[in-house]
Copies of this chain bind each other. A is one copy, B any other.
């Protein structure tokens, strides 16, 4: 029984099982970690929950996304801690611990793909799979100084992955360097169905920028300059339809209702003790009415159409990924809940509309990383990655 965890406290302490990868391929020489929401043959899948872990048994098949990476020659490094049921942006698990943010050790890694972000930022692997329902890749990427992507909804298969809220769930990934990041994109995304051709129309969503902490906004100035140098002057636009409150509540009702449908019977049936925050969120999710959920979907459809019009086929929004740098590890649960509620307003547009968003690690503030994001048209995922490479080269 191993007595010591990895230095980033990122990995689940499963006994090692052999996972075979192709001898050569586009990802040869790169190692990767897998959020413990995806099946890897020879390992259980916990979803960050002790009871799901107990129920799991040992999986006999890899999730297809894992299989793709192995077939491309990447070496499996281990399964990483997820926030409980992936229903948290914090980066802490009441049962399995709190992974360490390798770029700001006294701050949270962010979640729910906390262990994956900790593993990459701690230098324990080259890239890592996460999932992003409400920001679980974008948030930790910003907090840990990594490239991180939420792809277009449905772009990467979630077979063999535990669901949180299926109409919002996506499979994303992290890497420290843009080239490794792009190599993974090439394997997982294939060819864009709607690549950005011709010059990018850079868009500046003034209303989203107003959601960031003023000092964080100021700190992002140099990163904005770098992006403007690469992509040109932005047009000012407005993102929120009707109001931020409607966007926020539409997201929360849809996420909450689907999360309860996917996990409520298990949670209620077993009366599972849940960690702080997660327990209250599921308790709230249980109370969402079908009427609230339906109304949220009416808004969601209007909002998606609004975003499609706004972006056209060459529009790219530039925005702060998160409202601020990662909260300190000692932050009280109530303050984390406040931060989460602010973050959701920034994270909801791509989620609700199913659009691809990439977070770029171009800034530091308060001695910690802070990400800046690009949101592109549906199906332009690889174009966004190429823009990130272009920005990196001109930086």
A residues contacting B by CB (< 8 A) are 1-5, 9, 12-15, 44, 46, 50-58, 93-98, 265-266, 269-273
Q: Roughly how many angstroms separate A140 CA and B98 CA in the complex, as a whole number?
A: 34
**Which residues on the B side are within 8 Å of A14 (C-beta)?**
54-55, 57
Q: Roughly how many angstroms separate A93 CA and B15 CA in the complex, as a whole number?
A: 24
Q: Roughly how many angstroms separate A36 CA and B44 CA in the complex, as a whole number?
A: 18
Find A50's partner among B15, B53, B98 (CB 8 Å cutoff).
B53
Task: Evaluate contact between A51 and B96: CB separation under 8 angstroms.
Answer: yes
Expressed in whole angstroms, the minimum distance between the Cβ of A389 and any Cβ of chain B is 38
Main secondary structure of the interface of A (DSSP, over half): loop
Q: Roughly how many angstroms separate A59 CA and B94 CA in the complex, as a whole number?
A: 26
Task: Give 10 CB contacts A-B under 8 Å.
Answer: A3-B265, A3-B266, A4-B270, A13-B270, A14-B55, A15-B55, A15-B57, A50-B95, A53-B54, A95-B273
Task: Evaluate contact between A54 and B270: CB separation under 8 angstroms.
Answer: no
Q: Roughly how many angstroms separate A297 CA and B15 CA in the complex, as a whole number?
A: 37
**Which residues on the B side are within 8 Å of A54 (C-beta)?**
12-14, 44, 46, 53, 96
**Which residues on the B side are within 8 Å of A13 (C-beta)?**
51, 54-55, 270
**Which residues on the B side are within 8 Å of A3 (C-beta)?**
265-266, 269
**Which residues on the B side are within 8 Å of A56 (C-beta)?**
15
**Which residues on the B side are within 8 Å of A58 (C-beta)?**
58
